[in-house]
């Protein structure tokens, strides 16, 4: 049911049941590369079977179920199976190594862990055995780990048997041990305001923090994300973005389930498979970070594929150059492509462009606040609200604000003030119409001899230069000025530029103190797994490239 505010008081399990009842015969989940296809009714049945199996194993309300896996079909199934029994899905970054996994398991006090065999150069199975050697000797379900005292169970998301781990077929077979009545009672005992999802922030500063999100947070955010793209049961959204990040599991999965939309999921980003999936399934929407769209547009096989079914989608995660947006609209038929801004702590989307916004708004701003969310700009020092056109810290308030950081009340209090405003740490400007422009992160700001320099301004200027495909501006430590401007540039194929060409292009056009003192040509950028560029790593790299800085 909806509250007076127009927001829905509903759990994710009840949301799925509603969608199954309305659109049971419509496609829910499709994987083109393995000919995998489930209708919403089939998907709902699979979720119920797995949920009952987890109950039979002894998974109780409030337990964490960590998933360390790529975008396999059982990832989405677990997302709803855990929600239906009141467990908390804990998403694990697929790029994690041993120490990062150990930190997450300990800090989150995780009781259950599900894994695949591995990803890229990391063997997940051996990693878990090294961290939890007791798995090889303890009876399943009776795990006692010295390093991870809360951990009770480990499951393998596949058919193969591994010592100490449950397999998915075994868990599904246990479903018969739980009655329909007991299952229904568990689902009825849940509140929309229970925590249903935990995600660890990228940890670009300090240790990662576990963001606690409720059914109410992400269910409603997913609804408005889909509504903003005008999703219906006739849409098909292609998702090559990671499910462990909000981009996948909220903007993708929950936007789709709220509207009966089909999810065409890829296990990982592969340009040809993305193009094949769009063409074969006649996808109407496509998600990705700008670098993904650039990879598609630049691919030699691009013209071999049919994109005419596309209409909308989301490009997010980092700044979108104008020429990329123009090509996405013209060559990929995505006339209604959207841009959004958010952060995990905000469930995650805060502002969003509208499909009828002109291209200027879609590249120069990140849109206006979603319904039922307030946005304001405040002075970073005083916390006082600022007028339109003034730059300050972006703050937001509404149904979407996280419940807090797990076991970290101090960090929670620092992030959310007494009036309920979430302080994002991002810098921006609101115009008179409420459109938000991001100017950088407070910690990304370059302070050169007392002058504040905002990287976005320089990036938007230099992207106009012929031969530059992408650019990121970051601080370079300086003995004389404290910090100098460094430009890290990816060139277009065949372009031949020298650092002096870049500085010459700037002279007379931007203030002298904003002209990059240091220019370095790179082939890619250090990124988080969710596609966000890690500027602090560019600063670290600069100290190696330019060891003698004035």
* Per-residue pLDDT, 204: 40
- CA-to-CA distance for 305 and 282, rounded, in angstroms? 11
The CATH H-level (homologous superfamily) assignment of domain 445-545 is: ANL, C-terminal domain (3.30.300.30)
- List the one residue out of 113, 80, 443, 520 whose CA is nearest residue 257: 80
Give the DSSP H or E segment for 368: strand 368-369
* Per-residue pLDDT, 346: 97
- List the one residue out of 67, 347, 114 whose CA is nearest residue 223: 347
What the block records as the tokens of 262 is 């089909």
Coil vs helix vs strand at 409: helix
**In DSSP terms, which residues pair with 451 in a beta bridge?**
448
Residue intervals of the chain classified under CATH 3.40.50.12780 are: 41-200
**In DSSP terms, which residues pair with 428 in a beta bridge?**
392, 438
Q: pTM for the full model?
A: 0.86
* Per-residue pLDDT, 549: 61
Residue/partner pairs of 100-105 with CB below 8 Å, 24 or more apart: 100/208, 101/68, 101/127, 101/128, 101/131, 102/131, 102/147, 102/148, 103/207, 103/208, 104/66, 104/200, 104/208, 104/210, 105/66, 105/131, 105/148, 105/151
What the block records as the tokens of 379 is 């002075």
- CA-to-CA distance for 297 and 268, rounded, in angstroms? 18
pLDDT in tens, the chain (550 residues): 445 457 999 999 999 999 999 999 999 999 999 989 999 999 999 999 999 999 999 999 999 999 999 999 999 999 999 999 999 999 998 988 898 899 999 999 999 999 999 998 899 999 999 999 999 999 898 899 999 999 999 999 988 999 999 999 999 999 999 999 999 999 999 999 999 999 998 544 457 899 999 999 999 999 999 999 999 999 999 999 999 999 999 999 999 999 999 999 999 999 999 999 999 999 999 999 888 998 999 999 999 999 999 999 999 877 777 888 999 999 999 999 999 999 999 999 999 999 999 988 988 899 999 999 999 999 988 899 999 999 999 999 999 999 999 999 999 999 999 999 999 988 999 999 999 999 877 667 788 876 778 788 799 889 989 999 999 999 998 877 888 999 999 999 999 999 999 999 998 888 788 899 999 999 999 988 777 788 888 988 888 888 766 5
CATH class of 41-200: alpha beta
Residues belonging to the chain = 550
Residue intervals of the chain classified under CATH 3.30.300.30 are: 445-545
Q: What are the residues whose beta carbons fall under 8 Å from the beta carbon of 330, sequence distance 6 or more?
A: none
- CA-to-CA distance for 207 and 390, rounded, in angstroms? 32
**Residue 39 phi, psi (nearest 5):** -75, 170
* Per-residue pLDDT, 524: 92
């Amino acid at each position: 049911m909806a509250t007076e505010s127009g927001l829905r008081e509903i759990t994710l399990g009840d949301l799925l049941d509603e969608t199954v009842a309305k659109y049971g015969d419509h496609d829910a989940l499709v994987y083109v590369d393995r000919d995998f296809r489930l209708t919403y009714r089939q998907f709902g049945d699979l979720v119920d079977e797995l949920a009952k199996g987890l109950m039979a194993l002894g998974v109780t309300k409030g337990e964490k179920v960590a998933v360390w896996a790529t975008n396999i079909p059982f990832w989405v199934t677990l997302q709803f199976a855990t929600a239906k029994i009141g467990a908390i899905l804990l998403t694990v970054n697929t790029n994690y190594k041993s120490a990062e996994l150990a930190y997450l398991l300990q800090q989150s006090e995780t009781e259950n862990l599900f894994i695949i065999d591995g990803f890229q150069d990391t063997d997940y199975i051996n990693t878990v055995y090294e961290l939890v050697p007791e798995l090889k000797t303890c009876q399943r379900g009776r795990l006692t780990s010295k390093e991870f005292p809360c951990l009770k169970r480990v499951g393998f998301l596949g058919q193969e048997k591994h010592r100490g781990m449950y397999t998915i077929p075994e868990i599904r077979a246990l479903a018969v041990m739980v009655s329909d009545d007991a299952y229904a009672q568990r689902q009825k005992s849940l509140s929309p305001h229970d925590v249903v999802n935990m995600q660890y922030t990228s940890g670009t500063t300090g240790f990662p923090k576990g963001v606690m999100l409720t059914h109410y947070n992400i269910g409603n955010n997913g609804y408005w994300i889909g509504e903003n793209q005008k999703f219906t049961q006739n849409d098909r959204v292609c998702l090559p973005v990671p499910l462990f990040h909000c981009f996948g599991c909220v903007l993708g999965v929950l936007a789709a389930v709220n509207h009966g939309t089909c999810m065409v999921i890829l296990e990982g980003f592969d340009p040809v498979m993305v193009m094949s999936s769009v063409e074969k399934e006649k996808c109407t929407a496509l998600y990705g970070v700008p670098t993904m769209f650039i990879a598609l547009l630049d691919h030699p096989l691009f013209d071999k594929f049919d994109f005419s079914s596309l209409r909308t989608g989301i490009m997010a995660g980092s700044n979108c150059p104008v020429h990329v947006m123009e090509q996405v609209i013209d060559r990929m038929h995505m006339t209604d492509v959207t841009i959004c801004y958010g952060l995990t702590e905000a469930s995650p989307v805060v502002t969003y462009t509208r499909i009828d916004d002109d291209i200027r708004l879609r590249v120069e701003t990140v849109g206006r606040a979603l319904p039922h969310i307030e946005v304001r700009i405040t002075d970073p020092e005083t916390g006082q609200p600022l007028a339109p056109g003034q730059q300050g810290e972006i703050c937001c308030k509404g149904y979407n604000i996280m419940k807090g950081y797990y076991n970290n009340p101090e960090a929670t209090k620092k992030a959310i003030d007494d009036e309920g405003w979430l302080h994002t740490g991002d810098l921006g400007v609101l115009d008179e119409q409420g459109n938000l422009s991001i100017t950088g992160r407070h910690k990304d700001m370059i302070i050169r001899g007392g002058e504040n320099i905002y990287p976005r301004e320089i990036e938007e200027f230099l992207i106009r230069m012929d031969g530059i495909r992408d650019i990121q501006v970051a601080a370079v430590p300086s003995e004389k000025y404290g910090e100098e401007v460094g430009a890290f540039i990816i060139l277009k194929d065949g372009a031949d530029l020298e650092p002096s060409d870049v500085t010459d292009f700037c002279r007379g056009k931007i203030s002298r103190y904003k002209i990059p003192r240091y220019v370095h040509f790179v082939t890619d950028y250090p990124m988080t797994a969710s596609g966000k560029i890690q500027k602090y790593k560019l600063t670290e790299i600069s100290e190696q490239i330019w060891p003698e800085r004035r």
